[in-house]
């Protein structure tokens, strides 16, 4: 496969060290690109969930891929997030073409981009950090349950189901939180004269133009590598949102893109993929899938133990 060379790539919310991280898909993506600049926009290592008993080889391979990029000339900016906030006591730090910072302003083809993780807008992070950490543990448990369900669902020909995404899209408070997050980020970016504002944190990939009475700005969110498997790419003066889709049942990988159109909104460009079903009726099978969860959990536990022994 030919290596692509975008000018700039933004990845966030990888959550290395957690059960939900899709490391194999991320490794496949990293090996397919050689960007001039790579921005790791927070929560790359999940220090909140980190345990010595769980650090598979595939998680180490992600770090090796990043090291390989550094040796081949890619400048890497690691921006700290809330799950890796312990690194903030060491920032700013620079070693060669590796930079550790909390936020970043870049000039991209004459336009200023304001880049940060986004937890600064999270009220629970400011006033009730223990609530945020408790929610993080609950989210991690939900992701593990989701893996069990997908293990059965894919083999039953029903496709993937993202429980957490459906919950966030259906619960009014979650929808309102995301809307407020995006509105706050874009209002501040417009006020400070930025052309782009680039975030992560909320696990909701997006490219969209926001306007108010003072002006407009392009809002970009790189999504995550737990649910959405997305990254932002900038090449030939255009932003695209790369989506990596893996079908575990057939070991096939396909890609979609959300390409920015003229007015700054985003549109989907579908790739050809046969046999990848759309799980519209996923929740109808939810009860029956849960009946298999105990058995599948035992299988996956054995797989994890085997991976750790390797």
288-308 pLDDT per residue, tens: 444 444 444 455 555 555 555
pLDDT score, position 153: 60
- Per the domain annotation, does 3 fall within a domain? no
Percentage with pLDDT > 90 across the chain: 44
Q: Average pLDDT in the 234-256 region?
A: 69
In a domain, 38, yes or no: yes
Which residues make Cβ contacts (< 8 Å) with residue 208, sequence separation at least 6?
182, 218, 219, 264, 265, 266
Q: What share of the chain is helix, strand, coil (3-state, %, to 5)?
A: 40, 30, 35
Q: Are 235 and 7 in contact, with CB atoms under 8 Å apart?
A: yes
CA distances from 155 to 7, 149, 248 (A): 39, 10, 9
Q: Rounded to an integer, what distance in angstroms lies between the CA atom of residue 241 and that of residue 256? A: 9
1 in a structural domain: no
- Mean predicted confidence (pLDDT) in 111-118: 95
CATH number at residue 172: 3.60.21.10
Indicate whether 299 belongs to any domain: yes
Residue 232 has pLDDT above 90, yes or no: yes
CB 82 within 8 Å of CB 125: yes
The whole-number pLDDT of residue 120 equals 77
The Cα 284–Cα 280 span in angstroms is 9
Alpha-carbon distance of 239 to 233, in angstroms, equals 6
Single out the residue of 239, 220, 141 nearest to residue 182, CA to CA: 220
Q: Please indicate whether residue 129 or residue 91 has the higher confidence score (pLDDT).
A: 91
Q: Do residues 266 and 47 touch, judged by C-beta distance below 8 A?
A: no
Tell me, yes or no, whether 288 lies in a domain.
Answer: yes
- pLDDT at position 250 over 90: no
Q: Are 124 and 135 in contact (CB under 8 A)?
A: yes
Confidence (pLDDT) at 168: 52
**Which residue from 1, 10, 2 is spatially nearest to 74, judged by alpha carbons?**
10
The pLDDT score that the predictor gives to residue 179 is 67
| pLDDT digits 0-9 by tens, 160-185 | 656 555 545 544 444 455 668 888 89
242 pLDDT exceeds 90?
yes
Contact yes or no for 189/111 (Cβ under 8 A): no
Handedness of CA 45, 46, 51, 55 (dihedral sign): negative
Cα–Cα distance, 200 to 182 (Å, whole number): 11
- Residue 152, pLDDT score: 62
For residue 24, give the H/E element and its range. helix 23-31
Number of domains composing the chain: 1
Higher pLDDT, 205 or 270: 205
Strands of the chain, DSSP E: 8-11, 37-41, 75-79, 93-95, 98-101, 103-108, 111-116, 196-199, 206-212, 215-221, 230-235, 238-247, 252-260, 266-269
Residue 243 forms part of a structural domain:
yes
| Tokens representing residue 158 in the block | 């029903």
Q: Which residue has the higher pLDDT, 264 or 111?
A: 111
The answer to whether 201 and 122 have CB atoms below 8 angstroms apart is yes
Average pLDDT of the chain is 75
Q: Judge whether residue 230 has pLDDT over 80.
A: yes
Please check whether residue 19 lies inside any domain of the structure.
yes
Range of the domain at 107: 8-309
Question: Strand 111-116 vs strand 196-199: parallel, antiparallel, or unpaired?
Answer: parallel
CA distances from 225 to 67, 97, 231 (A): 19, 24, 9
Residue 75 in domain: yes
């Amino acid at each position: 496969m030919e290596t692509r060379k975008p000018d700039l790539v933004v990845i966030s919310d990888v959550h290395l060290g957690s059960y939900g991280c899709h490391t194999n898909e991320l490794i496949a993506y990293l090996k397919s690109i050689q960007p001039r600049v790579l921005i790791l926009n927070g929560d790359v290592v999940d220090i909140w969930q980190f345990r010595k008993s769980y650090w598979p080889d595939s998680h180490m391979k992600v770090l090796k891929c990043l090291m390989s990029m550094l040796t081949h000339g890619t400048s890497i900016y690691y921006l700290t997030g809330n799950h890796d906030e312990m690194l903030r006591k060491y920032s700013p730090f620079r070693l060669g073409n590796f930079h550790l910072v909390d936020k970043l302003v870049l000039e991209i083809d004459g336009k200023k981009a304001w880049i940060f993780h986004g937890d600064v807008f999270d009220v629970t992070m400011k006033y009730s950090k223990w609530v945020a950490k408790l929610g993080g543990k609950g989210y991690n448990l939900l992701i593990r349950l989701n893996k069990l369900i997908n293990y059965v669902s894919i083999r039953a020909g029903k496709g993937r189901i993202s429980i957490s995404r459906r919950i966030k899209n259906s619960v009014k408070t979650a929808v309102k939180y995301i809307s407020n997050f995006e509105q706050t980020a874009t209002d501040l970016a417009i006020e400070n004269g930025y052309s782009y504002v680039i975030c992560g944190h909320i696990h909701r990939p997006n490219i969209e133009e926001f306007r108010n009475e003072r002006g407009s700005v392009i809002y970009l969110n790189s999504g995550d590598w737990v649910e959405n498997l997305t990254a932002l790419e900038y090449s030939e003066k255009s932003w695209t949102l790369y989506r990596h889709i893996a079908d575990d049942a057939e070991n096939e990988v396909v890609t979609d893109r959300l390409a920015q159109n003229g007015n700054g909104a985003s549109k989907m460009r579908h790739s050809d993929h046969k046999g990848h079903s759309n799980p519209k009726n996923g929740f109808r099978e939810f009860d029956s899938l849960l009946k298999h969860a105990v058995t599948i959990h035992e299988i996956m536990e054995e797989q994890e133990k085997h991976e750790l022994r390797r």
